[in-house]
Structure 1
Amino acid sequence: MVKGSTIFREDMAIEEISEVANRYIESEWRSLYESMHEQLTAAFAEIEDAAYGLYLDQLMPFVFEQLEDAGFSTMEKLNENDFVIGKRLIFRNSLEKWGTEDNRSRIFWNIIYDKQGSPIGTILTEIPHSHLKFDIPSAPVIYSLRESVKEQVLQGIRRIKESG
């Protein structure tokens, strides 16, 4: 993916958005991981899981900036104590229930709104990670859901994780 070009269009469906976001992540995640590995391994020794936030702070902003450049909105009103990484990943909008200690899965969700402010669906950002050492065992993945109501989004996440 060329970082100078726009990767999203304002007429994209939520499924297309996740496909394009996954192509970007697939092209970038490993080289970023390798370039930051030593720094993030040292950070993990001090701040544990927060080291993954430092990684996502580098990987994910491009996706959210590109969505916004195409006319989409991804941000909701923040609460005073919200913790945000990767520009738009809010911890209260995430679940971590799957996997083993060396290959856990945290999934963040972001409702995507069109230019008129209507929700078109939700993107889910899954970050595989280890709790034992700094390790991202496989590429982060973006899923899409047509749903945009929290309870339905949570059901969609469970459906994806329990079927895969």
Structure 2
Amino acid sequence: MNQNDTRLGSMLEEGAGNALYQIYKIGHFIDTHIQSNWQGVLSNHADKLKRAYEEAGDMAYGTYLNLLLNPVLKEMKELGLRAEPRLPGDFDISREWGNEDETDQQRWMWSAIYGKDGEPLGTIVIQVYHDHTQFRLPRKPGVLALTMTAKEEVAEALSALSESFAQALEFTEEYKLYLASLNDEQSGKN
């Protein structure tokens, strides 16, 4: 953890017993961590991330997010907090959109956060801004904190915040359409 970050435990002690307060504090903590570290992770691991992008394409952004969020996950674990799925979230239900030349895309993923007692506190959404033409983050990842945890409620809340999110398909649906288009292309060639 960066020395400039406030320890999550002390932030949560202030609002102990108030789940609503806690999910917003967790979101603020993660956002502060990202603000302090996102560029450092990029520069400290530039060769590794470039190589990952050359070998696996967009999966390199997952590598980046793991490097960026591992200190957050460690601190959460020490406090008995659990992210499900692991931060940054489930790629299969994430949604992506962006500009036509694909140099400024964004993907929103999320994880439900559970307290020591196993009770849901809310959801943390990670907004990843990225480029499909090279490994590049046009701006720092964003963080949203929501009080709900059910997938449908989260998707509804995010759709209310962003028309682009509402119009985007979940990755698994988008991928099915992509595979169908490849089949259609193959059928047309035969």
TM-score, normalization by structure 1: 0.82
Higher helix share: 2
**Aligned residue identity for 1:25:** I
2:45 corresponds to: 36
Which whole-Å CA distance do the structure 2 matches of 1:62 and 1:89 have between them? 16
Cα RMSD, aligned residues only: 2.4
2:95 corresponds to: 95
Structure 1 residue aligned with 2:76, among 55, 58, 67? 67
2:64 corresponds to: 55
* Alpha-carbon distance, 1:123 to partner: 0.4
Matched, 1:140 2:141: yes
TM-score, normalization by structure 2: 0.72
Q: Secondary structure at the match of 1:13?
A: helix
Higher strand share: 1
Which whole-Å CA distance do the structure 2 matches of 1:30 and 1:137 have between them? 11
2:5–2:33 contact (8 Å) kept in structure 1: no
* Alpha-carbon distance, 1:3 to partner: 8.7
Q: Mark the runs of 5 or more structure 1 residues left unpaired by the alignment.
A: 77-83
Q: Which has the higher relative contact order, 1 or 2, with Cα contacts under 8 A spaced 6 or more apart?
A: 1
Where does 1:1-164 land on structure 2 (aligned, <5 Å)?
Answer: 1-2=2-3, 6-8=7-9, 9=12, 11=16, 13-76=22-85, 89-96=89-96, 98-100=97-99, 101-162=102-163
Q: Relative to 1, partners in 2 of residues 1:71 and 1:93: Cα closer, same or farther, differing over 3 Å?
A: farther
* Alpha-carbon distance, 1:4 to partner: 9.8
Count residues with an aligned counterpart: 154
Which whole-Å CA distance do the structure 2 matches of 1:34 and 1:161 have between them? 31
